[in-house]
Amino acid sequence: LRAALRDSKTQWYQLPIGVGIGFVGLMQFYKVTTREKEKEELDEVTGAAGRKPNGRERIRPDGPWQVRAMSTLPLKAMSRLWGRFNELDIPYYLRVPGFKLYSFIFGVNLDEVAEPDLRTYPNLAAFFYRKLKPGARPLDPNPNALLSPSDGRILQFGQIEGGDIEQVKGMTYSIDALLGKHTPTPSVAHGEHGRPSERHISENEGLIKTDEEFARVNGISYTLPSLLSGGRPSGSTQTESPPDEAEREDSPAAISAVRADLALGEKPWYALLAPEENRTALYYAVIYLAPGDYHRFHSPANWVVERRRHFAGELYSVSPYLQRTLPGLFTLNERVVLLGRWRWGFFSYVPVGATNVGSIKINFDRELRTNSLTTDTEADRAAEEAAARGEPYLGFAEATYASASRVLGGHALRRGEEMGGFQLG
Amino acid sequence: STVVLVFEAPVEQGSDAGETKGGWRWNVEKGQRVKMGQALGYV
């Protein structure tokens, strides 16, 4: 062996280039295969693709390089910083030219702003969340109309078939991903005919037959107007000097006025909840609010909000461009899902946050905090607790509204009533 | 920011006479600008 090593002549020569390329290709294929295999094994362990071991959703969107680059940015931190920046007071004499410039760029109609003196808005955040003059947005007089909850542009609408909602340019996502699982109620999901509110009715049947009984459920003197406004039982709001009979909330005149307002006619109160038609379907509409739009939103119909689900997701931009390029955008972003019923059955209202407008405010839900470190931490903790229990993390925190409206089973909203809005950051 | 509405509504039903009644009808078009309070559709 020593002689062979010593006496053998070493001769170097070039490999054909094709062999080299083939070798590099083979190595690359091996690396990719190994990586994919590791990923599949991880998914098997965690139970679902794209999840951290604790179950909290990790945002790993597919799409062009712009989307991938965006997914590496700390969008929520940037959004909070943007919000803080816009809460800085603008020098008094710069407010008018500043807000006029903003209005010019984004098309704000200053004639309909409730406070015409622009100097009273200390910063852009206050101007952004401005109110409008009374009567600037008249409600459609048809009581059977579903109203637009805010100013904006209709991006998409249609009927939900097979549980999928179509996004712009044909992208689809499932209704479960948007609203959370077990939604809507089985009567809708299974496409059964009939009245989805039978549970409510059967619980209360025999108790409530008239408006007077409606006003005395379970011995508590709730009244129709107070229920619909989410108010307290009338007994707890009595003043020292009793109001005139005509002004009392539970007076026949007041009840008749509300019944007329709700277009109830001679129907029982639960007609608000139960559809009369035999066959129903699920519909959807997507409305995009541009930066210059009025950013408070109002109730699109008379309905009862039964519960709220807060998804502490990401805060991608929701511009039409990104909606075209990022599939399932609405199921990634932070959003508040309000679930309830209207007279035709299931009803839900979903404000979806964006990078510049990350804070969603719901007027009747003071505990709700969106785009905050606290909610992120709580979501992480909830995910870890669920993982410790061996249960899947559902991805949202849920609250129910049942305090004031025991009869309706939630918080009642009237058409056109202000529900909340989007705030900067 | 964006708002998504998902709701249940009656399906328009046709009769033998060719008439339709009672269903949900949209009152908007894709890309249309809307104002708060404007009707998106009717039952």
The conformational region for residue A215 under phi > 0 = left, psi -120 to 50 = alpha, else beta, is alpha
Check A149 against B3: CB less than 8 A apart: yes
Under the banding of pLDDT at 50, 70 and 90, the label for residue A49 is: very low
Q: Which regions in chain B score pLDDT beneath 50? A: none
Average pLDDT over every residue of A140-169? 82
DSSP, collapsed to helix, strand or coil, labels residue A418 as: strand
Question: Which DSSP string corresponds to A177-203?
Answer: HHH-SS-S-HHHHTT--S-TTHHHHHH
Stretch among A70-84, A185-199, A298-312 having the lowest mean pLDDT:
A185-199
Which site among B1, B12, B20 would you substitute to test the A interface, given the most A Cβ atoms closer than 10 Å to its Cβ? B1
Position A215 pLDDT exceeds 60 = no
Check B5 against A354: CB less than 8 A apart: no
Which pLDDT tens digit goes with each residue over A158-214?
888 766 666 554 555 667 777 776 555 434 443 333 333 333 333 333 333 444 444
Check B36 against A345: CB less than 8 A apart: no
User: Which positions ≥6 away from A63 have C-beta within 8 Å?
Assistant: A325, A326, A327
Q: How far apart are CA A167 and CA A253, in angstroms?
A: 47
Q: Which of B6, B22, B39 sits opposite A282 (nearest CB)?
A: B6
Closest Cα in chain B, distance from residue A423 (Å): 10
Nearest residue of chain B to residue A132 (CA atoms): B36
Q: How many CA atoms lie within 13 A of A228 on its CB side?
A: 27
Which pLDDT tens digit goes with each residue over A243-295?
454 555 556 676 666 667 666 666 655 555 444 445 788 888 989 999 999 99
Residue A234 Cα distances to A76, A364, A404, angstroms: 43, 19, 11
Which pLDDT tens digit goes with each residue over A387-425?
777 776 777 788 888 655 455 668 888 999 999 999 987
Q: Would you state the structure tokens that stand for residue A64, as one six-digit string?
A: 């062009």
Give contacts of A347 with chain B, Cβ < 8 Å: 6-8
Q: Which of A178, A280, A416 sits opposite B10 (nearest CB)?
A: A280
Check A144 against B43: CB less than 8 A apart: yes
Check A286 against B22: CB less than 8 A apart: no
Strand A280-288 to A152-159 pairing: antiparallel
pLDDT of residue A65: 77
Check B10 against A275: CB less than 8 A apart: yes
Which pLDDT tens digit goes with each residue over A355-390?
888 899 999 888 888 888 777 777 777 777 777 777
